[in-house]
Structure 1
Amino acid sequence: MTKKGKKGPSVTAKAEDRHWHGKRVKARAAKNASRTGSKTLGPRKPGSSRAGAAQGRAAERSSGATRRPDAPELVHGRNPVLEALREGVPGTTLYYMADSDERVREAIKIAADRGIPLLECGKPELDRLTDRAVHQGLALQVKPYRYAHPDDLLQGTAPLIVALDGVTDARNLGAIVRSASAFGASGILLPERRSAGVNAGAWKTSAGTLANMPVARCTNLTRQLKAYQDAGCFVAGLDAHGGSSIANIPAADGPFVLVVGSEGKGLSRLVTDHCDLLAHIPMFGHAESLNAGVAAGIALYELARQRHT
């Protein structure tokens, strides 16, 4: 959660004093310029609102989190639990069924070495705890996640922050965290409302990288993007009709915020208005769009390439 009145580290120079400030002005002028003719990343064409709502509910049910609000937050399955333990995910209890599988034995050993309580139980109990998910006889109860403050993401002279706008599937959040960790991002920014949070589904998909990737929450995303701009960051949003290709982003080597929207709706209008530039991912096949996790991974790879060449 956010901390009122906290001041985080500044990013060396104000926006207007940085060498790319002129590029930002030009980028803003060209943001809504002519549309590209190639297929690009972006929201699918609007369909039935009922169908979209049904898809959203289905995604939440299959995200890996338990369905009952009073159920514990669990990572389940042999590989996800073992990866989580190896990465130091903060667990409170390891539930296991007696099994000779090597992964189960290793999970028990790691949990015991870390002082995580062990509880042997039968299949009916694990079925109940995981709401009949595929647990393979192993589940890890996870501590409630402690969010960072948005200012904490402004570390170093050239932070790379990933802000999510309307991404409500915890699996997409976990996949984005994993890509952010792989390509050197400083942290993830989430709005407090209408957004996935760090739950068991996110832990599972992140393959343990959430243990080392700070995630911050803000009460107002557009206000926080403005604060990042005032701190010297260049803000670029992924949009199907962005005037620039993700391969040609100005100021990619400086303090940077990449904004990723949902697959269905893309970026909201207010967030779009607060971006310095809108960029697209060129696509040459038959797919009309990419989901948020895949799109963020491609964009982060390209930004990392530009930042390190």
Structure 2
Amino acid sequence: MASLDIIEERSDPAVQRIIDVTKHSRSVVKTVLIEDIEPLLQSIRAGVEFAEVYGLDTAPPPAELLEACEKRGIRVRLLASALANQVFKAEKKPKLFGIAKVPRPSRFKDLADRTGDVILLDGVKIVGNIGAIVRTAFALGAAGIVLVDSDLPTIADRRLIRASRGYVFSLPIVLASRDEALQHLRESGLRPMVFEADGDHTVGDLGAIDERIVLMFGSEKTGPSGALTDIAAESVSIPMNPAAESLNVSVSAGIALHARARRNLGA
């Protein structure tokens, strides 16, 4: 790849584009800033559309990223460090980032078109937990994730992109109201199973189920809502030391997905 152009003038249109995407007050989110090598690479592999990718003049992008951008026809330029200090001001200055178009929101139909299990998170609001579950769900063959009452207005949230290492664009993630989730569960024909402390099954039983299921998790404090618990005819528990109060929801989801990995990855 040829030597990279350096953006040194504030008048360059890219500078305003970067400033706009970092504003916290945007009412409509059409573009997002994706930073760091792994999230950038995974987003590119997932087919996310980029305006440009940027490095700093003091820290050029690694060859792996340059090759990935070249294959996709994504322009890469360097931002002068002095200009980057002006643009990001009090924010943490990323050494490597891109401006991407936010993909269309996933729909329940996107889950129906896939073969793996569905993860439903009810009232899980900690973005780090959601991001960890996204990575695990992708790695272990889940069809996608439904987020109910997550407080996220979009999956193109910079915190979620960082926490998921960019895998948030690699599988369908549906933001739904509780009523929408309930309707989908009724219409999909999938077998819903809710995780509770004293379940009908243990997590070890999940490997023998040879059909798609919905694995439902609530927050650590309150668990799933009553409406979602009621629609699940079966419950699952994870054997654990009774002296331990609970498991982190991302750990619980990981244990469940591992138990289902042979079926989901095989499918």
Q: TM-score range by the shorter chain?
A: 0.7 to 0.9
CA separation of 1:166 and 1:196: change in aligned 2, threshold 3 A: farther
- Partner residue in 2 for 1:246: 203
How far off its partner does 1:290 sit?
2.7
Please give the secondary structure, in 2, of the residue aligned with 1:75. Answer: strand
Deviation at 1:293, TM superposition (A): 2.1
**RMSD (Å) for aligned C-alpha atoms:** 3.4
Preserved CA contact (<8 Å) 2:57 2:81: no
2:194 counterpart letter in structure 1: G
Matched, 1:162 2:126: no
Is 1:298 aligned to residue 255 of structure 2?
yes
2:92 paired with 1:118:
no
What amino acid maps onto 2:92 in structure 1? A
Does the residue aligned with 1:185 lie in a helix, a strand or coil?
Answer: coil
**Structure 1 residue aligned with 2:163, among 205, 210, 229?**
205
Write the deviation string for residues 117-171 of structure 1: whole angstroms up to 9, x where unpaired: 4342234554544853362x11122322322221331136x64111111122333
In the alignment, which of 162, 182, 207 is matched to residue 225 of structure 1? 182
Q: Which residue identity is paired with 2:129? A: N
Q: Check whether the contact 1:77–1:134 (CA below 8 A) recurs between aligned residues.
A: no
Is residue 49 of structure 2 the alignment partner of residue 93 of structure 1? no
Shift of 1:238: 1.7
Residue from 246, 251, 270 that aligns with 2:227: 270
* 1:201 to 1:242, Cα distance in 2 relative to 1, 3 A: same
> Counterpart of 1:57?
none
Any residues of structure 2 matched to 1:23-42 within 5 Å, and which?
none
Contact 2:38–2:166, Cα closer than 8 Å, also in 1:
no
Of the three residues 218, 221, 234, the one matched with 2:191 is 234
Structure 1: where are the runs of 5+ without partners?
1-64
Instruction: Tell me the amino acid that sits aligned with residue 215 of structure 2.
Output: L
Deviations 1:101-127 (A, max 9, x none): 6x5343244334423343422345545
1:129, 1:89 → 2: CA distance? 24
> TM-score normalized by structure 2?
0.73
SS in 2 for 1:288: coil
Q: Deviation string for 1:197-253 (max 9, x for gaps)?
A: 4122222333333333112233x3355334334432110112233343122249732
CA deviation vs aligned residue, 1:263-309 (integer Å, no higher than 9, x gap): 3332122222222222122223865333222221111111224666x
Q: Secondary structure of the equivalent of 1:73?
A: strand
Q: Give me the whole-angstrom Cα distance separating, in 2, the residues matched to 1:283 and 1:134.
A: 43
Aligned residues: 241
AA aligned opposite 2:167: T
Identity %: 28
Distance 1:77 1:250 in 2: 36
* CA distance in structure 1 between the partners assigned to 2:263 and 2:217 by the alignment: 18
Q: Which residue of structure 2 aligns with residue 81 of structure 1?
A: 40
- The separation in 2 between residues aligned to 1:143 and 1:66, in whole angstroms, is 14
Greater relative contact order (Cα 8 A, min sep 6): structure 1 or 2? 1
Determine if contact 1:94/1:108 at 8 Å carries over to the other structure. Answer: no
> How far, CA to CA, are the matches of 2:190 and 2:242 in structure 1?
33
Structure 2: gaps spanning 5 or more residues: 1-20
